[in-house]
Each structure stands twice: as structure tokens, then as C-alpha cells.
Amino acid sequence: MLDIYIWFYTGCALVILGSIGTVIGPGVKDPIVRTLNTEVAAVGLSMIFLSYNHTIALLTFVASTVIMTMILLRAIVRLEEMGAKV
Amino acid sequence: MITGDLFNFTLFVALIGIVNIGLVGAVKLVDVLDSAFQYGIIAMIASLPLFGGAATILAATGTLSLIELSHLSLVTPMVQFASVLLLMGIAGETGIAPFYATKAEMFRTPGSPFLVIIHLSSLLVIVRAIEILLIINKPF
Amino acid sequence: MTGAEVLVPSVVSPLVVSLYKPAILVGLLTGFIGLLGIAFKKGDLTALILTDIVGFAMLIIVAAVATDLAEALVLPGLVVELAEILAISEVLMSREMRKTGKNVSLIPLPLSLDMEILETAPTFLAIILIAYGAFLSGFTGGAVAGVGILFYVLSRTIRGVPSTLWEGVAGISGVAWVLWLIGFLMFFVTPQYWLLALFLSAFGVLIKVASKVGLIGVLGREEFKREK
């Protein structure tokens, strides 16, 4: 059995790294890269949920993150098709 | 709004924010939609102090029931910090004083409907929020 | 009751108490990074993506309380965040559509799912998922079984078999929901039949969640038909 601290602090590090990467990471001029960088933070948050034994919260979070990414990608693709400057 | 549970109230305030975005977003004018977008961003950011404040009160006192909270005799610095967070969240969600600039443009537009609904709901929510903050902090 | 007992009840494990402060710090730091990003980066789409990070910070702070109540509080937080991001993105797209005057399709991605696995494996995988979901029961089991039904319906769609098999799924879902409610009512009215109530609510919610997720498959099939 692994130590719970390992899961928790790995999650914390992933959340902070992911959020920094979303703000000033490489290639974030492209909004799709920026959206995909949020997934790193999402994985970290999932590990924090896991270390607290929040099973149903984790399940719902995974589902809602997928839906959120789809919403954001749809917005990006539609805005690029319109040729809008955002 | 007349609830005995703190988290139900915060959830209600968050839903007020979403409904306000929907009401304003129904107007098909570029300026109003721009203002609605700014208001939506503020409302979404304000959900951090709103839910964070409620969770901090839960962590500090061990309960979310307003009746139990009114019976507690101690007010720790953590509860005061949580109350400040809660106030920031409610101000952001309903768009009052510090965040009023986001709502100004959509009030100025002549065609936008439901202004009275949005304004009145904000006022009523603020009255109840002040009452809840008084119950939690017990200044008197 | 003294103050210290109220602050940390004795049932809370010291492990969780020791994790509280770093979790709060991480949550505030993440929120701060996200807000700094929104403040310094220009662009509406950037702000929309970065509010996602702020929402994660909110979830960390709520989850750090680490009780069952906190877990129940995470769920509405997630739903609120999802609804807000949907509303804001719709407002943004509507505004840009007004500004540029161009009209684009509602779902811009071409959905062509012709993978080999959808032709060979669906029945086997669906049966395994549904059986495992029925074995688990409850909410989690419903989700697992629902994924099985969803996968089956989607793959049937790809193979082109017109299946009117799932028309009554909505009705089953409603009936199962009523079973679930009756089970909960029995807990309060006749507590001596708690085993029956437990099974009623567990399998009611199993069927309800499974059929709800299966309904997504039915809706998706109709969307694909419209696309073609």
C-alpha cells in the first residue's frame, strides 16, 4: 500500500504545474493547446479526490471534465470558423 | 432563499448568477452580449470565494445548519475569514458594488428586458446574505 | 462542548487534519495563478479557459474538508461550473456571430466513428459492463452499466442496424426512479423492512442511472441520423 501523502502531494504538484502551464506554458497562443493544458490540472485534482476517498465526486468530475473540454473545443472551432478575433 | 442551510443559500446565489446571464444573453445586441460575457466571467470567478467560504465555515465549525451556527458561542478568525470570502462571492454573483461596472452597460441599453427582475433579485439576496453573515458572526 | 471539540471532532483522522492546510494553500495558490492569468492575458477565449482553472481551485478548497458532507458539496459545485461555462461560451459565440455576421453549423465536428473495435467487440464488452454494473448496484453500478448500454447503442448505430429497441427506455427510467423514492420512503415509514428498502433504492437507482446514460446513446443516434 502506497503512502497517501505521495498521492496527495503529486496531485498538488500536478494542479499547480498544470495551472502555471495553462497561463504561461509553451505554445499557449493556440487556444487548443491552452485547453489541453487544463487537463494536467484536472488529473492532479482527480488524484486529490482519490486521496480523500471521494469516489462519487471523482466519477462526476471525470464526466464533467470531458463535457467541459468538449464545450470549450466546440467554442474554439466555431469561433475560428467565424474568423473572429478573440 | 429562506433556507436554514448555508450551502443551500450559496447554491441559490450561484443559480441566480447563471439565470441572470441567461436573461441578459437573450438580448441580441453586441454591446449587451459583451456586457453579459463580462458579467458571466465575474460570476464564474466569484464561485471560488462563494463555495470556498461555505466550505471554510464547514471546516471551522463542523456544521452548515444556520440554527446550529447561531448556537455556537465562539467566533474564530477562520470564521471571519470565511465570512469575508462569502461576502466577496455574493457580491460577485449578484453584481453589486465593486463589480457593478460589468452590469452598467446592460442597464444603459434601452432594449434590454427583465432589468427589474435582475435588480430586485440582487437586492433581496443581499438582504438575506447580510442576515446570514450577522447570524454567523454575532457582532451584537 | 468546548471549542476545540467543535473545531476538529475526534472521529476525523489526524492524517486528514494534517492535509488540510497544504490543500487550502494549494487551492488558494491555484486560484491566484488563474486570476493573475485572467488579469494579464488579453482575449475573451483565454479568460473563458482560465476560469476553468479557478473552478478547480474552488473544488480543491471544498474537497479539503474531507467529510462525506464535503463530497456531497463537490457535486453541485461541479454542476454549477459546467452550467456557467456552457452559458458563457454560448454568449461569446452568439456575440461573435452578431459581430462577424457569419453563420456556422451548430456542431462543427464531423462525427465519423468508423473504428474496427465498434464492429467486432461491442456485444461482448457491453455484456461484461452491464453484468458488472448489476453486480455493483447503486449509483456506481448504474454508471458502469450505462456505459455498456451507451457503447452498444453507439456501435449498433455505426453498423447501421435500425434499432427501435430502446424506445421504452425513458419509461423504465421513470418507473425505476419511483422505486428508488419508495425505497427511501420506507426507510422513514417502516424502518423494520430496511433490507427491502435498501434493495429497492439500490436497484432503482441502478436502473435509473443506467437507462439515463443509455438514453444519451439514443439521442446521439438521432443526431447522427440527422447529420447524414
pLDDT at C127: 78
Residues 6 or more apart from A56 whose CB is under 8 A from it?
A: C71, C75, C139, C140
Same domain, C79 and C125: no
**Among residues C34, C68, C100, which one ends one of the domains?**
C100
C-alpha distances in Å from residue C104, one per residue of B91, C9, C196, C218, C224: 36, 57, 54, 25, 18
Residues of chain C positioned with their CB less than 8 A from the CB of A12: 22-23, 26
Q: How confident is the model at residue C116 (pLDDT cuts 50, 70, 90)?
A: low
pLDDT at C174: 74
**pLDDT tops 70 at residue C228:** no
**pLDDT tops 50 at residue C50:** yes
Evaluate whether C81 touches A42 at the Cβ level (below 8 Å). no
B36 touches chain C (CB under 8 A): yes
Touching C: A residues 43-72, CB under 8 Å: 45, 48-49, 51-52, 54-57, 59-61, 64, 67-68, 71-72
Q: CA–CA separation, C155 vs C120, rounded Å?
A: 9
**Among residues C100, C128, C145, which one ends one of the domains?**
C100
Nearest CA in chain B to C58: B48
Chains linked to B by 3 or more Cβ pairs within 8 Å: C
Region at C112 (left for phi over 0; alpha for psi -120 to 50; beta for the rest): beta
Q: How confident is the model at residue C5 (pLDDT cuts 50, 70, 90)?
A: very low
Helices (H) then strands (E): counts for chain A: 3, 0
A38 touches chain C (CB under 8 A): yes
Average pLDDT score over residue span A52-68? 86
**What total of structural domains would you count in chain C?**
2
Of C41, C52, C108, the CB nearest to A38: C52
Task: Determine phi and psi for C216, rounding to 5 degrees.
Answer: -55, -40
Establish if C106 belongs to a structural domain. no
Domain borders along chain B are 6-137
Evaluate whether A84 touches C103 at the Cβ level (below 8 Å). no
pLDDT at B96: 77
ipTM field: 0.89
pLDDT at C83: 87
Q: How confident is the model at residue C29 (pLDDT cuts 50, 70, 90)?
A: very high
Containing structural domain, residue A43: 4-82
Q: How confident is the model at residue C1 (pLDDT cuts 50, 70, 90)?
A: very low
Closest CA to C70 of A78, A82, B60, B29: B60
Indicate the DSSP class of residue B65.
Answer: B
| Residue B29: burial class (beta carbons within 10 Å; 0-12, 13-18, 19+) | middle
Closest CA of chain B from C51, distance in Å: 6
pLDDT at C8: 62
Evaluate whether C172 touches C211 at the Cβ level (below 8 Å). yes
CB–CB contact C73 B51 (8 Å): yes
**What total of structural domains would you count in chain A?**
1
CB–CB contact C33 A16 (8 Å): yes
List the end-to-end C-alpha distance of chain B, in Å, as a whole number: 24
Q: What is the 3-state secondary structure (H, E, C) of A37-66?
A: HHHHHHHHHHHHHHHCCCHHHHHHHHHHHH
Chains C and A touch (3+ CB pairs under 8 A): yes
Of C19, C70, C85, the CB nearest to A68: C85
Chains B and A touch (3+ CB pairs under 8 A): no
**pLDDT tops 50 at residue C41:** yes
What residues form DSSP beta bridges with B65? B5
C-alpha distances in Å from residue C96, one per residue of C100, C102, C154, C190: 6, 9, 34, 58
Chains B and C touch (3+ CB pairs under 8 A): yes
Residues of chain A positioned with their CB less than 8 A from the CB of C139: 56
pLDDT at A83: 72
Chains linked to C by 3 or more Cβ pairs within 8 Å: A, B
List the end-to-end C-alpha distance of chain A, in Å, as a whole number: 48
Q: What is the CATH number of the domain that holds C7?
A: 1.10.287
Average pLDDT score over residue span A67-83? 83
Same domain, C83 and C140: no
Containing structural domain, residue C58: 3-100
CB–CB contact C87 B40 (8 Å): yes
Establish if C153 belongs to a structural domain. yes
Q: CA–CA separation, C18 vs C9, rounded Å?
A: 14
Same domain, C121 and C95: no
Task: Determine phi and psi for B5, rounding to 5 degrees.
Answer: -125, 135
Q: How confident is the model at residue A1 (pLDDT cuts 50, 70, 90)?
A: low
pLDDT at A15: 92
Evaluate whether B12 touches B1 at the Cβ level (below 8 Å). yes
Same domain, C61 and C143: no
pLDDT at C164: 53
Task: Determine phi and psi for C166, rounding to 5 degrees.
Answer: -100, 20
How many other CB atoms are found less than 10 A from the CB of residue A26? 8
Closest CA of chain C from B130, distance in Å: 22
Q: CA–CA separation, C88 vs C162, rounded Å?
A: 37
Residue-wise pLDDT tens digits, C70-114? 888 888 888 888 888 888 888 888 888 877 777 666 655 555 556
How many other CB atoms are found less than 10 A from the CB of residue B105? 17
Evaluate whether C44 touches C92 at the Cβ level (below 8 Å). yes
